[in-house]
Amino acid sequence: MTKDAEQTLLSLFEAFALKCMQLQQAVRFGDDNLVRVLDRELGPLIESVLAYRAEGIVGIYMQLQFLSNLIREDADDRSSVMRHSAALSVLLDRYLGGNAAAKYAAMLNKLSWKRATDTAHPENDSFLNEVILDALPDRIAVVTTDYRFLYFNPAGAAYLKKHPIELVGRHVVDFVGPDCFERRLRGSLDQCFAGAKMEFQMACRIVEERETTMRFRLAPLRTRSDAAFGAVLVWSDAVQPASAPV
pLDDT by residue for the chain (246 residues), tens digit each? 555 656 687 788 878 888 887 888 888 888 888 888 888 888 888 888 888 888 776 777 778 778 777 877 776 777 777 777 777 777 777 776 655 455 444 544 444 333 333 334 333 333 345 555 655 677 888 888 888 888 888 888 888 888 887 787 788 988 888 888 998 899 999 999 888 888 988 888 776 666 788 888 898 877 656 666 788 888 888 765 544 444
Is residue 140 a contact partner of residue 233, using CB atoms and an 8 Å limit? Answer: yes
Q: Are 33 and 26 in contact (CB under 8 A)?
A: no
**Beta-strand (E) ranges in 132-175?**
139-144, 149-152
Distance from C-alpha of 183 to C-alpha of 187, rounded to nearest angstrom? 8
The identity of residue 112, as a single letter, is S
Looking at CATH, the fold of the domain delimited by 112-246 is given as: Beta-Lactamase (3.30.450)
Contacts of 116 (CB under 8 A, 6+ apart): 127, 129, 132, 133
Give the pLDDT score at 63.
Answer: 81
Residue 195, phi-psi category: left (phi > 0), alpha (psi -120 to 50), beta (remainder): left
- With a CB cutoff of 8 Å and minimum separation 6, the contacts of 79 are none
Could you tell me the CA-to-CA distances from 216 to 141, 175, 185, 201 in Å, in that order?
11, 13, 9, 6
CA dist 99 and 93 (Å) reads 8
Range(s) within the chain of domains with CATH label 3.30.450.20: 112-246
